[in-house]
Amino acid sequence: MIARLLGGLVIGAGVGALLGYFGKCTSGRCPLTANPVRGAVLGGVFGVLVVWPCGRECKPRLEAAPGTGEQGNATNQVETGAVVHVTDEDGFSKHVLQAKLPCLADFFSNSCPPCRMLGPTIEAIADRYKGKAVVCKVSLDHKATHGLARKYDIAGIPTVLFFENGKEAQRLVGLQSEEEYVRVLDEMTQTTGR
């Protein structure tokens, strides 16, 4: 995070200084092009502001699997609470396609603000349907899941796919209300008798 902020500061200051040096502001009112020092200061501030919202969320991380003491990697599936985090096609096949219960699969990216907004909703749904449905989060931040995105025609995220007996039953694209996801899962769990 610090390195990213410093990088934004240095790049922004450099660009601002160049604009100040080569700028043609003769009145002195143009903050970036008045002089190199003002340009560097304002450019540095802009650089930090551009990088700041990214924070830690831009870098995908997996938590340690419960009880293992090991850090997750791109080939592990990590279960946090009632949600299964899928990071490759084998995990998708195991947890989604071979699931005996109806399954909700949330295709997301950590760099997508609507996906981050949907996260707590998916967690709540997973807790609510524990034992009745499988709830998975499929991270598209991993190259190992890009084939899944192509296979299931994921054009925009968040996209939530619902699976029954290994086949896609329904999909909701974009950020929806919790009630929409619950409605679909209720229909699926009622038809399977759970």
Residue 16: helix, strand or coil by DSSP?
helix
Does 112 participate in catalysis according to the annotation?
Answer: yes
Catalytic choice (25, 58, 112, 136): 112
| Cα dist from 161 to 109, 116, 131, whole Å | 15, 17, 19
Catalytic choice (54, 103, 115, 136): 115
* Residue indicated by tokens 């619950």: 182
Give me Rg for the CA atoms of the chain: 23
Q: Are 12 and 44 in contact (CB under 8 A)?
A: yes
User: Residues near 69 by Cβ (< 8 Å), separated by ≥ 6?
Assistant: none
Q: Give catalytic residues, as residue numbers.
A: 112, 115
